[in-house]
Amino acid sequence: MRYLESGSTDPYYNLALEQVVFDGPGQDTACCMLWQNDNTIVVGKHQNTLQEVNMAYVREHNVRVARRLSGGGAVYHDLGNVNFTFIAPHEGGGMDFSVFCRPVAAALAELGVQAELSGRNDMTIDGKKFSGNSQYVKRGRVMHHGTILYDSDLSVVGQALWVPEDKFTSKGLSSVRSRVTNVRPYVKEDLPTGQFLVRLRQALVSAYDMEPLVLKEEQLDEVVRLRDTLYSTWDWNFGASPPCQIVKKRRVEGCGQLELHMDVEQGRLNTLRIYGDFFSLDEPEELARLLLGCPLEEGALRERLSGVDPGRYCRGMDLDALCRALLQ
């Protein structure tokens, strides 16, 4: 087995790095990678981003949103969280999460932490989840993702992944909210996150007699290309969401009660119907038609409505209030 550690905390770079290793040469060789993302929500491949993410919180706190190749639920990453990835040959059959969770649990045991494998893809301490895991299988290879909540801000985890209680119907897979805990209180020594990562790496490298994996220059160039053309794009992180129907009810100051019925496909407004107790000079259906096909992204909404006064269709409404209503 080979070992690779990413020196970046950019989620788009790290996800691209995984793919280059996964698709690259040496397909018969297993690899372990440790990495961290700063202030990021990572959603599963099959999830609807709009359903999983508190968009108002994300914009206010500059949280990045990234979609990974593997399935599973949405997770929040900060620098108190350590991620591990195993890339290995896959001999067919089902997905066996325990194969890749056991070595991590053994490494934690060396630090005095009694971790247990729970359910289909979790690791727990005292019945509380600290690690969620997911897998991606393709052409005889498996990529296994795992998280370790070591010293994360759990209050942010709850806020970043909380969404308003709008009526939301989606073909995507929703995350299961669980009781969670950090690992650090259970470690027999008081280790900051950086020291924990070092100890975890030492335990894994020793257990598997790993040698470093050094990528070639052309592979590193491919990581940058994938980061810029796929993983950091709106089309991948939001547009790749499955179709969904959303009903938003908002009270807009100076306008009144607003009810928005949206059909969203590939992250774009397929249909929009606007109801409420507001007054209007022009029919709100005209405003809705202007927005059809527009991505649910603030810059795109503002560009589409450049020179348009939303107050003609919903008296008292300005462009800022309309964007908030559509996006939050």
Greater pLDDT, 9 or 94: 9
What are the pLDDT digits (tens) for 213-248? 999 999 999 999 999 999 999 999 998 888 888 888
More confident residue, 175 or 57: 57
Tokens read off for 159: 């806020």
Q: Are 152 and 29 in contact (CB under 8 A)?
A: no
| Mean pLDDT, residues 94-105 | 85
| Domain map (residue ranges) of the chain | 2-239, 244-327
- Could you tell me the end-to-end alpha-carbon distance of the chain, in angstroms, rounded to an integer? 45
What CATH number does domain 2-239 carry, 1.10.287.810, 3.30.1180.10, 3.40.190.80, 3.30.930.10? 3.30.930.10
Q: Whose CA is closest to 77, among 14, 163, 144, 143?
A: 14
Burial class (CB within 10 angstroms; exposed 0-12, middle 13-18, buried 19+) of 12: buried
pLDDT band at 77 (very low <50, low <70, confident <90, very high): very high
Helix/strand/coil percent split, the chain, to 5: 35, 30, 40
* Mean local confidence (pLDDT), 18-42: 89
CATH superfamily, domain 244-327, is: CO dehydrogenase flavoprotein, C-terminal domain (3.30.390.50)
Report residue 42's pLDDT band, with 50, 70 and 90 as the boundaries. Answer: very high
By CB neighbour count within 10 A (0-12 exposed, 13-18 middle, 19+ buried), where does 7 fall?
exposed
Highest mean pLDDT among 52-56, 166-170, 180-184: 180-184
What is the tens place of the pLDDT at every residue in 119-138?
778 899 999 999 989 888 88
- Whether 170 has a pLDDT exceeding 70, the answer reads no
Mean pLDDT of all residues in 65-75? 90
Q: What is the torsional sign of CA 120, 175, 66, 304?
A: positive
Average pLDDT value for residue range 47-66: 89
pLDDT average, residue stretch 72-96: 87
pLDDT, mean of residues 304-321: 92
Residues 160/162/166/167 CA torsion (nearest 10 deg): 120
What is the chain's mean pLDDT, rounded? 89
| Sign, CA torsion 165/284/301/244 | positive
Instruction: Output the pLDDT for position 94.
Output: 67
pLDDT of residue 305: 94
Residue 176 is classified by DSSP as P
Query: Alpha helices, DSSP H only, in 61-143?
Result: 98-109
Q: Provide the pLDDT for residue 285.
A: 92
Give the CA distances from residue 162 to residues 76, 106, 156, 295, in Å, rounded to whole numbers and listed in that order.
11, 33, 10, 22
26 band by pLDDT with thresholds 50, 70 and 90: low
Mean pLDDT of 24-47: 88
Confidence band for 276, pLDDT divided at 50, 70 and 90: confident
Rounded to whole angstroms, the maximal C-alpha distance in the chain is 73
The CB density around residue 68, as the number of other CB atoms within 10 Å, is 23
